[in-house]
A = this chain, B = another copy of it.
Amino acid sequence: MDFNTVEIKAGVIADNDKVAEENRRLMNHSNTLFINLMSSPGGGKTTTLVRTIEALKDRYAIGVMEADVDSDVDAAAVTAAGAKAVQLHTGGACHMDAGMTRTGLDEFDLTGLDIVFLENVGNLVCPAEFNVGADKRVCILSVPEGDDKPLKYPLIFTVSDLLLINKIDTKEVFDFSTDRCKENCRKLNPSMEFIEISSLTGENFDEWIAWLTRAAEEKKAK
C-alpha cells in the first residue's frame, strides 16, 4: 500500500475551534492551501479529486486525507492518480472535526505539499458544523440530488465558499435548474461562488482548476 490507514475518534466539541486555529497556523506555516471538500454520498468527491490531481500533479504536490466510515478504496484511487494520501477511518463518526483532521495532517510532510484536500465523510449535515481550519470550504451538489437541497440542508450552503454543481452532463435527465439552485444558495450566502462541472466528462473543469490555482498561488504568496 502506498498510503497509511489511521483509525481516529471524534473528540470533544468544545475544543474544536481552538484546534482548528492550530491547524490553520500549521498550514499557513508551510503555505499549503487547505481545502475541506464536502458533499452527499455519491456527489462525486472522489471523481472530482482524481481528475483534479491528474490536471495539477505536474504543477503542485497534492495531499489528500480520505475520511470514511470504512473502506480504503478512495485513498487507493487518489494515490493512483498521483497524490499523497492518508486514509482516515472515522469509527462511525459522520463528520471530521478539527482534532481528527489534525491526526490526518500529522501524517504528511506538509512543507513538501502545495495543496491538501480533506475529502470529508459524505454527509450534508454534520461536516458543515465543524471548522477544521481549512482555507476554503468547497461543497459539491450533484444534479441528481435536486436544486432544493439548500432549503433542506441550509448550513453547509451557508458556510461554503464555493459550490461545485456536478454531473451537469445529466441535466437533461433531471428536473434541475442551476438558476433556482443558485438563488436558493444566495439567500443563505450572498458571497458564494458557483462553478458548474462534470467530473465524469471533464466539462467546464478548466474553470475549477483555474479557481484552485488562484487560491494556491494566493496561499504561496502569503
Give A residues with C-beta under 8 Å from B.
40-42, 68-71, 73-74, 92-94, 121-126, 129, 142, 144-146, 148-149, 151-155, 167, 170, 173-174
Contact = CB atoms under 8 A, between A and B. Distances in A.
Contacts of A40: 40-42, 122, 145
A187 to B, nearest CB: 12
B122 A124 contact: yes
Copies of this protein in the complex: 2
Given A92-B129, A144-B144, A170-B170, A124 B71 contact: no
Main secondary structure of the interface of A (DSSP, over half): loop
B170 A92 contact: no
Contact of A94 (B126, B142, B145): B126
Contact of A142 (B71, B144, B152, B154): B144
A90 to B, nearest CB: 9
A125 to B, nearest CB: 4
B155 A92 contact: yes
A7 to B, nearest CB: 15
Given A121-B125, A125-B123, A152 B92 contact: no
A146 B92 contact: no
Given A69-B125, A122-B124, A125-B69, A42 B146 contact: yes
Contacts of A145: 40-42, 144
